[in-house]
Structure 1
Amino acid sequence: MSLKPMSVAMAALTVVGLAPVNAHASAALRFGYENGTKSSGQPKLGFNECCQTSIQVDDLPRTGRYAIRSHLKYGDKMVAGGTRAESHTLDIKDTHFRSGETVYYGFSIYLASTWQNDSREDIVFQWKPWRDKCETDKSPSAFLSVQPSGKWRLRVNSDGSPCSTADTVHKTSFDLAEVKPGQWHDFVFKFKWSHDSQGSIDGWYQTHKNPGWRKVVTATGPNTFNDDATTQGYLKWGIYKPAWNTGPTEVESRTVFHDNITVGTSFSEVNPAAG
């Protein structure tokens, strides 16, 4: 059974009754970079980076004083099997997820006004499970990307098989909103993680120049993998350019900013605009 989007009319509704936009509770975990370090005060935060310039704190924040800047050039040495500059929470237990859990995620992403469309996608946020012992590789359960069409796209991968292969993974994609360079893009997602029909996804979006949360995805059905008891997922954010693993594209470099990456149990906890 695949994820089923609800009606377009439903998906376009403005968020009402969730929480005031400026509400902020004590979130389970937030990476806001306000201490001026790229670990954001979390010593177990990991980095997939080739170079000193790959991941740096920057004074272009969504809120507060700082955000994280991820920079990638074509020809950069591959890290963790790909051309990427990413922060990751592999060793931070409070961010881990698995089938049967319901979690809210919030984050903000900034693309500079000089951002140019490319013929191949740019992946900027991932929900990534590690492999079961019987698997040789593992797709992310979900990832957010910038598409050549100029759209934000949420891609969801699921598999009810105990041992996933490339042939058994089911893939579903949702185009969420138009990419608008020169603006902070705010996202909130509610995942009810499940490898079967019990799963669901709700997603909301706004920009800092056009505030007002819009619901951009509502879907039901499988959205992760049938993992064994030892396997969980974690988060990655930054820039991953899969096409550059094998050759060049029309652009030669990518720079993305992230701020207020948050994991919690409610919309108000993870609202990235609240700071």
Structure 2
Amino acid sequence: MMKVLKVSTALCAGALLVTLPLSHAAGAEPDGSPLAGSAPAQSPAEKLKVDYENGALNSGVEGLTTTHATAPDASGVVRPGHGGAYAVQHKVTLGDAGYESNGAPRSESATDLLPSGQFDVGDVQRYEFSVLLKDWKTYAAGDSDTGDIVFQGKYAGGNVPAFYLMAKRNEIAFRSPHLNQQAAVVPDLRPYVNKWMSFRVDARWTTDETGYFKVSVQLPGESGYKPAASYENVRTYQPDNPADHGYIKWGLYRPSESIGNGDVPTRIVQHDDIRILDLS
């Protein structure tokens, strides 16, 4: 009879129980090593890679949206990158229309018009990116505690995001608005200002309760990704308005911030090594 291990230690607040079969049917020994005579696991297929190594703002990817903000320095290619020559930089200054897009303070790159950068119901995908918070003013008691969004999984058609990662107070948080779930995946970002942090989000896109979001993080000095948050057996594709696909965005979006609220006037982020992998 197959043995079942129930993992009851939550990775984050609101995480659901995960049931893991310890069986040879999974193609592995209990320690995770391949069964004798079994075929080696295949690497996920890479759907999209944006590494900016050619020095272009669209990284040579036709159809990649760079930014709709009009300020000359709202986005640009900078060096050095994350393990390479170049990265992309986005900048937003509150109260300046040159750093606004669709009426909100933001400067982002997006895959909305790029078939290889889209997701739909039934897809199982991995999203990877590295981010650097440039000269980031950290939170102090009494400061505004709204969040700066640095990466989104977005439904098309003007919908709210399926998920996003944001710098809020002095943490990096993962949030899913429809699930009404949020977890600190980097509890304290202060040691990592001006350093590259890497993130991985695995998503199974479903309209029933069989989907998941799994978030992993690799911080400076670490040799690999470590699990940080997991939401399983949940509905992940649920736009408010009709949407024929979803896509990803990276950069800087400051939806609830203003000079009047006492928010930091100018923020700058850098991104590199954005990848979409097919896990299906």
Same fold (TM over 0.5): yes
Give 2:113's aligned amino acid: D
Give 2:54's aligned amino acid: N
Matched, 1:172 2:181: yes
SS at match of 1:141: strand
Give 2:69's aligned amino acid: E
Among 72, 79, 101, the alignment partner of 1:79 is 101
Q: Mapping of 1:1-275 within 5 angstroms?
A: 7-8=9-10, 27-46=46-65, 47-77=67-97, 78-117=100-139, 119-131=145-157, 137-148=158-169, 150-158=170-178, 170-178=179-187, 179=189, 180-220=192-232, 221-225=234-238, 231-244=244-257, 247-266=260-279
* Shift in CA distance, 260/151, structure 1 to aligned 2, threshold 3 Å: same
* Shift in CA distance, 95/66, structure 1 to aligned 2, threshold 3 Å: same
% identity of equivalent residues:
25
* Shift in CA distance, 120/259, structure 1 to aligned 2, threshold 3 Å: same
- Displacement of 1:244 in angstroms is 3.1
- Displacement of 1:114 in angstroms is 4.2
State the Cα deviation string for residues 233-258 of structure 1 (Å, max 9, x = none).
11111001112368443311000000
Kept after mapping to 1: 8 A contact 2:45/2:278: no
* Shift in CA distance, 70/228, structure 1 to aligned 2, threshold 3 Å: closer
CA distance in 1, matches of 2:10, 2:257: 35
SS at match of 2:126: strand
How many residues end up aligned between the 2 structures?
Answer: 238
Kept after mapping to 1: 8 A contact 2:131/2:270: yes
State the Cα deviation string for residues 25-76 of structure 1 (Å, max 9, x = none).
7621101000001100012111232311000000031121000001111112
Kept after mapping to 2: 8 A contact 1:100/1:192: yes
- Displacement of 1:130 in angstroms is 1.6
Kept after mapping to 2: 8 A contact 1:110/1:184: yes
- Displacement of 1:209 in angstroms is 2.7
Kept after mapping to 2: 8 A contact 1:195/1:224: yes
CA distance in 2, matches of 1:89, 1:243: 24
Kept after mapping to 1: 8 A contact 2:118/2:245: yes
CA distance in 2, matches of 1:56, 1:195: 37
* Shift in CA distance, 217/230, structure 1 to aligned 2, threshold 3 Å: closer
Kept after mapping to 2: 8 A contact 1:34/1:64: yes
